[in-house]
Chain A
Amino acid sequence: MESLTRRGALAGGVALAAAPLLGSAALAQSGPIKVGALFPFSGGLALLGDESYRGVEIAIEERNAAGGVKGRPIQVVRGDAVDPNQAVGEARRLTSVERVTCIFGTFSSSLCLAATQVTELAQIPYFELGAISDPITERGFRYIFRTNATASGFANMMVDSIRDAVAPAYKVDPKSLKVGIIHEDSLYGQTVAGYQKKRVQELGLNLVETLPYSARSVDLTPVVLRLKSAGVDVVLQTSYQNDTVLFFRQMREQGYRPRAAIGAGGGYSLRDTMEAVGAQHMEGALNVDFTQFRTNPAGAPGIEEFVRKYQAKYNMAPRSGHSLCNYMGAVVFLDAMQAASDLRAAAIREAVLAVDKPVGSTATGWGAKFNQAGQNERADPFLMQWQGGELVTVFPASAAMAPVKPVLGTA
């Protein structure tokens, strides 16, 4: 009896040990390539997490329809990351249980920062398609790659817009404009505002107020009154949805009309924000963000095709530009995997670093060229403006649908 058990255990052990080897050996020949998709599918971030994932889903379906990667279909394993703890747990499951070849993610920076600690140790390439925190690609990791712009890219674009878009539209000297920075006081707002202050100094603009506030606040009148009494002409706001709505409403109620308000994506990008504020009051609000859908297709080839596919698949218009940007990133990385000599991490890294797409050659209008840290250096965000209830790209000129309108709100 005893020997039987021992023998059984031994046999089982051998089988267990051999299974992954057999599995991966078999997979290497044929069978699907497993890739992970790590996004917040439930919880507070679920809406945009899901919207982001849809872009990945479309890219993978497209790829599979075209014969997959190296002649093998791609199979997605989803991981639900509600918070950083769960992101770590799901990253472990994807790398060690599901044994995925790579992971696409994550929408949120804190989730990405947590999950990549696991994937870097496991030497699984992590493709970030949406999180903007700069440190993600500043930690010296070898297997993290990011297609989208970073927080500093957003901040620089916002400040540069004062010089390149706002001042020309009003036909004034940019240095004559009083600039106010307001931001919600979590990591997101603090980071972007920090880079903004640096950039404002570099350009020699006139910064008169910097006001952090809590995004959960139910009253931003003190912020509005501070800006009003300082006579701020251009407001740079880094905000979520709730505080954006509140700021626009209370600006109007307090009779404060700056020449321009520029948002850092977030709350400014969402249609719900515009609807809550009212199209006529949101008119002219500027916004720096990833590519949205009202972009000139000449500067973003494939954008119309993407919208068509999205509508056919989900039976609705895209809810935000997140799906498009994740789609673009997933396409770039799937192409790189196809071009790689094999599907081991080192080969994928080599192939990603070899990618070279000029600006204006992808569905988002970005290019793709990765530095040694894994950051795409050709992914500047665009400047958009709310015009007649639509968020329209206004800068740079190659992607613009309309010129910048020198207004904010209607009387």
Chain B
Amino acid sequence: MDILVQLIVNGIMLGSMYAIISVGLTLIFGIVRVVNFAHGELLMVGMYATYLLGAKLGLHPYLAAFPVVVLLFVVGALIQRFMIQPLLKAEEHIQIFATVGLSTALVNLALLLFGADLYSLQVPSVRESLRLGGSTLLVGQAAMLLCAVALIGGLHVFMHTTPLGRAVRATAQNRNAALLMGVPVERIYIFAFGLGSACVGLASALIMPLIPVTPTIGSYFVLTAFVVVVLGGMRSLTGAFVGAMIIGIVDSLSGYYIAPDLKEVVYFAIFIAILVFKPTGLFGLGRGTE
């Protein structure tokens, strides 16, 4: 019983990590309608930035989050402006190729700059264990869960109460109508891509003290993030959160009760089942909206 509770706690913690990574992907996909295959590499960039700020300037990763979020916003905006924008009118698969190319380029750039070695930040306070009933979790994991909830809540409020948020939603719903209403669609896209990347920046600062960074760290997360986003219904932030929790718990339970090397099989099977039986995801808006 203790073990089951511990596994579920672990699953929730893992889920909050997947959630915070998937938020950015959901935003970019939902608004700009670009499947960003370089999402994991943006995470990697953010993690290296956090590492450098921590190792060279002695900045605590949670403080480093602020400059890293700004940096990633700029990187994301530049990607949209100079890579995706010129391709907006091209077919969708061209944009996908562009992001795949960007992902490969970033991985190799990281290999060139940092080598294949892993870098980790020693932040003992974040790795402190908290006892919760019979189970343990880390301070850093709890912080991640809180940040994921706060981020999703904050984005929801932003999208529904501010003029900019409304413009973003309008653009996501119908690009041409938004354009006719005087929304500067291209600038909204740049902002949205930047915002999505900034979310990954936050995620990377939170993850860095828990998991060491390598040039290929993104490839693991990005696949899971795609599953989460599809499970959540592509464009729904709450959906992504719930999807992430499901994947986290399934990951944790199947790793223990089935086999550690088969856990991916289990949640990819769930992924396929969702695609077959409910292609719009758990929180999708129905056919035709994806």
B10 touches A221 (CB 8 A): yes
How far, in whole Å, are A229 and B136 apart by their CA atoms in the complex? 16
Pick the contact of B252: A222, A226, A242, A255 (CB < 8 A): A222
Q: A219-B14, A242-B212 are in contact. Are A229 and B116 (CB under 8 A)?
A: no
Stretch at the interface among B79-87, B256-264, B274-282: B256-264
B3 touches A212 (CB 8 A): no
**Size class of the A contact interface (CB-based, 8 Å):** 20 to 34
How far, in whole Å, are A216 and B222 apart by their CA atoms in the complex? 12
Pick the contact of A44: B111, B122, B129, B136 (CB < 8 A): B111
A245 touches B120 (CB 8 A): yes
Q: Interface SS of chain B: helix, strand, loop or mixed? A: helix
How far, in whole Å, are A146 and B120 apart by their CA atoms in the complex? 35
Interface flag for A302 (CB, 8 Å): no
Pick the contact of A45: B6, B116, B136 (CB < 8 A): B116
B260 touches A220 (CB 8 A): yes
How many A-B contacts at CB < 8 Å in the complex? 90
Pick the contact of B3: A216, A219, A220, A229 (CB < 8 A): A229
Find chain B residues with CB under 8 A from A185 CB. Answer: 261
B120 touches A213 (CB 8 A): no
How far, in whole Å, are A222 and B255 apart by their CA atoms in the complex? 5
B255 touches A245 (CB 8 A): no
B264 touches A214 (CB 8 A): yes
Pick the contact of B115: A47, A213, A223, A226 (CB < 8 A): A47
Find chain A residues with CB under 8 A from B211 CB. Answer: 218, 246
B6 touches A242 (CB 8 A): no
Pick the contact of A225: B7, B17, B115 (CB < 8 A): B7
How far, in whole Å, are A42 and B215 apart by their CA atoms in the complex? 13
B263 touches A222 (CB 8 A): yes
Find chain A residues with CB under 8 A from B127 CB. Answer: 249, 253
Q: Mark A188-228, 1 if CB is under 8 A from B, else 0.
A: 00000000000000000000000111101111111101100
Find chain A residues with CB under 8 A from B221 CB. Answer: 218
How far, in whole Å, are A211 and B259 apart by their CA atoms in the complex? 7
Q: Which residue of A is nearest B223, CB measured?
A: A216
A278 touches B122 (CB 8 A): yes
Partner-A contacts on B (CB < 8 A): 3, 6-7, 10, 14, 17, 111, 115-118, 120, 122, 127, 129, 136, 138, 211-212, 214-216, 219-221, 251-252, 254-256, 259-261, 263-264
In the A-B complex, list the 8 residue pairs whose CB atoms are closest, starting with the nearest.
Answer: A222-B255, A213-B260, A222-B256, A212-B261, A276-B120, A216-B220, A185-B261, A44-B116
7 A-B pairs within 8 Å (CB atoms) are namely A212-B260, A219-B14, A221-B10, A225-B6, A225-B7, A242-B212, A276-B120
